[in-house]
Amino acid sequence: MIELGVNIDHVATLREARHTYEPDPVWAAVEAHLGGADGITVHLREDRRHIHDEDVRRLRDLVHIKLNLEMAANDAMVDIACALRPEMAMLVPEGREEVTTEGGLDVAGQEDTLKVAIARLAAAGIVTSVFVDAELAQVESAARVGARVCEVHTGPYAHAFHAKGRDAESPAGPRGRSRARRAARATPAPAAQCLWPARGSPASAAKSWPPSTPSIPPPFPPCAA
């Protein structure tokens, strides 16, 4: 079943541009929940350019749907994730000068380091995803280091489509789609089964989520662990 995750990073970008406390990304997450979203994604960047530590703490306490924390693969961010215990942590590359994530994580080039980070996250009950380019070698490395999910970077396809692929006869669009399909087919089967794991990932919780007749909670009371 396809589920909807909503990224609220740029609600925080607008807040930071205004140098004030609103719009509130946590309230945006509540609105997404009320609208039927299954999960919330935020990227806690090392430079804290939009989402802040307090935002993710409030999201963990106040939002009653699943949380996907995008993060760099370093000790400091793993410490934060292990304390927050989101349902999923997505490891991504970061560049201080980039406006948004511009490419996939080089999993193949840092397997030993990523194995340690992913093992720590798994010990905290967190499923790990990696953001990779549409390259079979990266997907295969992701499986070796213990990642359960791969998100494929489709930027090159989007750029090719914009520049050359709007013409149905152009080969640029099909080439990009073909690369993405090959990478998706190479992703280990367990990954496809765990995109939104139940909180803490025990089998009993997985069977109980989502409830058959979900009720919408009030926006701001604390969420019981």
Q: What is each CA distance from 179 to 83, 157, 185, in whole angstroms?
A: 37, 9, 10
Q: Give 216's DSSP letter.
A: P
Residue reference for tokens 């511009």:
102
What is the tens place of the pLDDT at every residue in 168-222? 556 655 666 666 667 666 665 444 333 444 333 333 333 333 333 334 444 444 4
Q: Which CATH code for domain 5-204? A: 3.20.20.70
Write down the domain spans for the chain. 5-204
The closest alpha carbon to 5, from 51, 31, 55, 41, belongs to: 41
pTM: 0.72
How many Å apart are CA 7 and CA 25, to the nearest integer? 10
Q: Which residues of the chain have pLDDT under 50?
A: 189-225
